[in-house]
């Protein structure tokens, strides 16, 4: 992996999407593509070609774990790093830490001014910035 540039963020909450986009693009300088559902994500991931998935744990059509499992069936994205957003790692993250490629969690609510730095820290701690 190299530098983190492009994030595919999936969440069904428009407020979360708006705040996260502000944080990632304005303070983090990332390119962010956002989807509101698992189906939309599966349809667009190939054209986005993200460096990282940022997935909401709880969504109505496919939860984050199920969505990640479906993405992992696509050969191009078997090793794509993923971070989950959840209200609680203890309740929402059960089982997610064992999934291949899950490199961290961001807890909601989050601060849009620091969320980009949180993600950069997770990326760096996993050694993802090495080429």
Q: Is the pLDDT of residue 96 over 70?
A: no
Question: What pLDDT does 106 receive?
Answer: 93
Please tell me the pTM assigned to this model.
Answer: 0.91
Q: Quote the DSSP letter at residue 37.
A: S
Per the document, the length of the chain is: 131
Domain-wise residue ranges, the chain: 6-109
- What superfamily does domain 6-109 belong to in CATH? Response regulator (3.40.50.2300)
Helix axes 38-48, 64-72, angle to 10 degrees: 40
Number of other CB atoms surrounding residue 12 within 10 Å: 15
Query: Is 70:62 a contact under the CB 8 Å cutoff?
Result: yes
Over residues 79-107, the mean pLDDT reads 80
End-to-end CA distance of the chain: 5
Question: What pLDDT does 90 receive?
Answer: 61
Q: Is 53 helix (H, G, I), strand (E, B) or coil?
A: strand
pLDDT in tens, 1-58: 589 999 999 999 999 999 999 999 999 999 999 999 999 999 999 999 999 999 999 9
């Amino acid at each position: 992996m190299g530098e983190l540039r492009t994030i595919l963020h999936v969440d069904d909450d428009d407020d979360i999407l708006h705040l996260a986009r502000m944080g990632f693009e304005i303070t983090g300088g990332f390119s962010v593509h956002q989807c509101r559902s698992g189906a939309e994500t599966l349809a667009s991931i190939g054209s986005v070609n993200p460096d990282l998935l940022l997935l909401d744990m709880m969504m109505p059509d496919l939860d984050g774990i199920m969505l990640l499992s479906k993405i992992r069936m696509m050969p191009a994205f078997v090793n794509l790093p993923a971070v989950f957003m959840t209200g609680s790692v203890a309740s929402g993250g059960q089982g997610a830490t064992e999934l291949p490629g899950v490199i961290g969690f961001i807890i909601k609510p989050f601060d849009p001014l620091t969320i980009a730095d949180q993600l950069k820290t997770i990326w760096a701690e996993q050694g993802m910035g090495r080429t």
